[in-house]
């Protein structure tokens, strides 16, 4: 009796301390998660270096991390800095009256009055939509301006998070396999289940990060290039915005280039509007429709609608990190239920064959 009390007390304290540790780490969830993602994505490179250079954990992890910094981290930092600078410039032009989003929408309405008539059939007020779009546009540029100010004011915090991510990624690259073995020994789920769940976690993280980011980069680059060719102001900014929107399956970059094409047609630039529309449908659209199922859906084993819903839910719950965390949670949910259904079905079959309970 006393031994059971000791065990229960210990387990209760173990759960309490574990929850306290999780809360302690909560402010650093972003750097920790991305350090884990880096370690998972670049693990094959780490294994390759071990085969070529021998078992030199520190050297191999350092080389892998350096390659990651050169091809991923530094370019992303440059891109984000450029995005914030472009957004700040557009916000200043809006404040000075050089850019007037409301007039652009009015021009579209004057050129295509059928749009307002069509919306009226569904009791949708065009003026309300106009005000919301203008508010969204101004709010977005204002947000980027605040981010520029925030980065300047919180430079230390930003670089602290970046340094923490790199620091953790180094140790995860070096000791990741040992940590996984330790967790498998510690968790009371059964070794086979734990290995399956860890494999699913790694598979979904790699597929989602690599797939979504690569698709976003491709679509954003294609969109920015066509905007630049057509002489549309802020091509870099709109390219990055298209890259961000492309993280949303099914809709993606079309949220940017479709309104741009409509506006070009409204102001009489018909050839440019046609070129942008054809390029958007054929090139940008196919890049999403062909690459996403191959690079994300196939590897995650998730249906397209689950990827879409989990991505939207993840973005709403976790912010920008949600485009990975959302599908990851969905994949683990399906993996847990898959294990339960398979094992429960096996147990039911055994019970049916023996005609009684199975110990």
For the segment 125-152, what is each residue's pLDDT rounded down to a tens digit? 666 666 676 676 666 666 655 655 555 5
Token look-up 């790199």 returns 166
- Flag whether the pTM goes above 0.85: no
Whether 202 and 312 map to the same domain: the answer is: yes
Q: Maximum distance among all alpha carbons in the chain?
A: 86
Whether 174 and 225 map to the same domain: the answer is: no
Tens-place pLDDT, residues 319-328: 767 777 887 7
**Given this model, what pLDDT does residue 253 score?**
80
Percentage of residues of the chain with pLDDT beyond 70? 69
In a domain, 203, yes or no: yes
In a domain, 121, yes or no: yes
**Given this model, what pLDDT does residue 175 score?**
84
User: Does the pLDDT of residue 164 top 80, yes or no?
Assistant: yes
User: Does the pLDDT of residue 298 top 60, yes or no?
Assistant: no
Shortest CA distance to 238 belongs to which of 265, 260, 270, 263?
260
Q: For the chain, what is the domain count? A: 2
In a domain, 21, yes or no: no
Residue with the bigger pLDDT between 311 and 106: it is: 311
Shortest CA distance to 170 belongs to which of 59, 281, 27?
59
Whether 71 and 214 map to the same domain: the answer is: no
* Structure tokens, 172: 């995860």
Whether 180 and 248 map to the same domain: the answer is: no
User: Does the pLDDT of residue 359 top 50, yes or no?
Assistant: no
Distances (CA, A) of 237 to 88, 144, 225, 288: 10, 11, 11, 20
In this prediction, residues 203-220 reach a mean pLDDT of 77
Q: Specify whether the CB–CB gap between 247 and 310 falls below 8 A.
A: no
In a domain, 352, yes or no: no
Contacting residues for 167 by C-beta, under 8 A, at least 6 apart = 35
Whether 44 and 180 map to the same domain: the answer is: yes
Tens-place pLDDT, residues 33-76: 888 888 888 888 888 888 888 778 888 888 888 988 888 788 77
CB-CB neighbours of 329 under 10 Å: 17
| Domain interval for residue 249 | 190-343
**Given this model, what pLDDT does residue 104 score?**
64
Q: What is the mean pLDDT of the chain?
A: 75
Residue with the bigger pLDDT between 62 and 85: it is: 62
In a domain, 9, yes or no: no
In a domain, 240, yes or no: yes
Q: What are the DSSP calls for 177-204, one per residue? A: HHHHHHHHHHSTT-HHHHHHHHHHHHHH
In angstroms, the CA 133 to CA 141 distance is: 12
Whether 109 and 31 map to the same domain: the answer is: yes
Whether 175 and 270 map to the same domain: the answer is: no
Final residue before a domain boundary, out of 133, 153, 186: 186
Final residue before a domain boundary, out of 162, 186, 210: 186
In a domain, 7, yes or no: no
Whether 168 and 252 map to the same domain: the answer is: no
User: Does the pLDDT of residue 4 top 80, yes or no?
Assistant: no
**Given this model, what pLDDT does residue 351 score?**
55
**Given this model, what pLDDT does residue 358 score?**
45
* Structure tokens, 325: 């965390």
Whether 53 and 157 map to the same domain: the answer is: yes
Tens-place pLDDT, residues 11-28: 888 888 888 988 888 888
In angstroms, the CA 140 to CA 134 distance is: 10
In a domain, 54, yes or no: yes
Final residue before a domain boundary, out of 146, 161, 186: 186
Whether 162 and 196 map to the same domain: the answer is: no
Percentage of residues of the chain with pLDDT beyond 90? 0
**Given this model, what pLDDT does residue 313 score?**
83
Planar angle of CA 301, 303, 307, nearest 5 degrees: 95
Whether 200 and 338 map to the same domain: the answer is: yes
């Amino acid at each position: 009796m006393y031994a059971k009390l000791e065990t229960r007390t210990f387990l209760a304290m173990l759960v309490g301390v574990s929850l306290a540790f999780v809360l302690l780490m909560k402010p650093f969830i972003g750097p920790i998660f991305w350090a884990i993602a880096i370690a998972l994505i670049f693990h094959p490179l780490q294994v390759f270096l071990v085969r070529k250079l021998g078992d030199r954990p520190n050297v191999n992890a350092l080389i892998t991390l350096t390659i990651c910094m050169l091809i991923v981290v530094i370019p992303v930092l440059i891109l984000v800095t450029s995005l914030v600078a472009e957004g700040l410039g557009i916000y200043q032009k809006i404040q000075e009256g050089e850019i007037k989003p409301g007039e652009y929408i009015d021009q579209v309405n004057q050129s295509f009055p059928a749009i307002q008539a069509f919306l009226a059939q569904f009791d949708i007020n065009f003026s309300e939509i106009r005000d919301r779009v203008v508010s969204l546009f101004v709010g977005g540029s204002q947000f980027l301006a605040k981010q520029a100010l925030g980065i300047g004011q919180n430079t230390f915090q930003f670089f602290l998070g970046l340094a923490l991510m790199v620091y953790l990624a180094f140790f995860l690259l070096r000791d990741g396999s040992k940590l996984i073995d330790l967790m498998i020994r510690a968790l009371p789920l059964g070794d086979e289940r734990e290995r399956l769940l860890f494999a699913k976690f790694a598979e979904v993280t790699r597929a989602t990060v690599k797939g979504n980011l690569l698709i976003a980069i491709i679509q954003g680059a294609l969109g920015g290039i066509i905007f630049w060719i057509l002489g549309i102001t802020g091509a870099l900014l709109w390219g990055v915005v298209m890259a961000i929107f492309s993280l949303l399956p099914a809709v993606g970059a079309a949220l940017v280039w479709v309104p741009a094409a409509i506006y070009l047609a409204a102001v009489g630039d018909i050839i440019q509007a046609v070129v942008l529309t054809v390029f958007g449908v054929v090139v940008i659209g196919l890049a999403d429709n062909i690459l996403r199922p191959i690079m994300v859906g196939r590897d995650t084993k998730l249906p397209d609608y689950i990827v879409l819903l989990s991505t939207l839910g993840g973005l709403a719950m976790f912010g920008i990190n949600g485009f990975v965390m959302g599908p990851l949670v969905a994949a683990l949910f399906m993996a847990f239920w898959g294990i339960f259904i398979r094992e429960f079905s096996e147990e039911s079959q055994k019970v049916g064959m023996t005609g009684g309970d199975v110990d």
